[in-house]
Amino acid sequence: MPDSEISTGRRGVLGAALVGAAGVAAGVVGGYVTAPNGGPHVRVDGRARFRDKVVLITGATSGIGAAAAKMFAAEGAKVAFCGRRTDRGAEVERAIRDAGGDARYIRADVRVEDDVRKFVDAAAEAYGGLDVCFNNAGVTIERPAYEFSTAEWEDVINTNLRGNFFALKYQVPHLIRRGGGVVVVTSSTVAIATGPKRAAYAATKRGLIGFVQAAAQDLADKNIRVNALLPGTTNTELIRRVAGMMNIPDAAWEAAIAQWGKSNVSVAHRVAQPEEIAAAAVMMASSEFTYMNAAQIIVDGGMTAHA
């Protein structure tokens, strides 16, 4: 499941499995084992593919969104991004600026239409327009379908589906004025194959596939491409919070998620690092893929290849 601004709910299926994995890790070295980062270091290639381009990202104060903000900036983009957590937003903005990039954090809650409108318009005004939009914000709550409260169900729907509608609604006029652009929407491999306690999340992520396919057709004659990115399980704060493991030592978490990846990701035998998913978003948004439209790009280490 991809990253998001927040996640709530009781420990789900993933959490239960990780608790067992954490137990395996205990007592190795001082009670815990320091796990490797689980994947290759992802580097930008220096081509500056987004020089003079303006990139807008929702849900970029941590995880995939934050990694994407840094990667787009390293490729030369001017990056405007939002999220609810101002301290995290300031940290990401500072990191990009310290590395020589150009970024601006603007607080916005994608569930609130006026927040989204103001964020998009402020970003376009600050940088003179929009070229690329990475609509990444999302949340999950894990519990049996019949146990969701109405408020919980609506929170997931309003963030993941309604928030994407708001984002696209206010981005499109700016993209049209620019002569076209690219929109990448974060869905999930849960849209393809899901499990228990993910009814709300699966409904929204599968719904986003239909949203992207229809929007791509609506916008094709305006030179705007719209595609869906479907990440597999990624080592982010979202899955750590869902697993109920925010308060354990980092080393124990890394050991647990590494063990879970070996057992559950059938080809790669590990979960993704946020930078690996961000790299896919950068690829999809680049001018090298002009014939990619209404597509579903799966980046899951082969997880869904195993029935």
Question: Sheet holding 224-231: strands in order across?
Answer: 102-105, 78-81, 54-58, 132-135, 181-186, 224-231, 296-299
Alpha-carbon distance of 165 to 156, in angstroms, equals 14
Catalytic residue, from 32, 146, 201, 291: name it: 201
Q: Which pLDDT value is given to residue 49?
A: 96
Please, what's the b/e burial string for 49-68 (b: 16 or more CB within 10 A of its CB; e: otherwise)?
A: bbeebbbbbbbbbbbbbbbb
Which residue in this structure is represented by tokens 């997880």?
303
228 DSSP assignment? E
- Domain spans, the chain: 13-25+44-305
- Write a three-state SS string for 145-162: HHHCCHHHHHHHHHHHHH
Q: Which pLDDT value is given to residue 43?
A: 72
Q: Which pLDDT value is given to residue 131?
A: 98
Q: Which pLDDT value is given to residue 7?
A: 42
Q: How far is it between the farthest Cα atoms of the chain?
A: 61
Q: Which pLDDT value is given to residue 47?
A: 84
- Entry pTM: 0.90
Q: Which pLDDT value is given to residue 291?
A: 97
Retrieve residue 258's tokens: 């590494």
Residue 201 annotated among the catalytic residues of the structure: yes
Q: Which pLDDT value is given to residue 39?
A: 56
Does domain 13-25+44-305 fall under CATH 3.40.50.720? My reply is yes
Torsion angles phi and psi, residue 17, rounded to 5: -65, -40
Q: Which pLDDT value is given to residue 307?
A: 59
Q: What is the pLDDT of residues 97-143, one digit of tens each?
A: 999 999 999 999 999 999 999 999 999 999 999 999 999 999 999 99
Q: Which pLDDT value is given to residue 17?
A: 58
Q: Which pLDDT value is given to residue 306?
A: 79
Asked whether the beta carbons of 200 and 150 are under 8 A apart, the reply is no
- Residue of 105, 96, 98 lying closest to 77 (CA atoms): 96
Torsion angles phi and psi, residue 150, rounded to 5: -60, -40
Ranges in the chain, pLDDT < 70? 1-40, 307
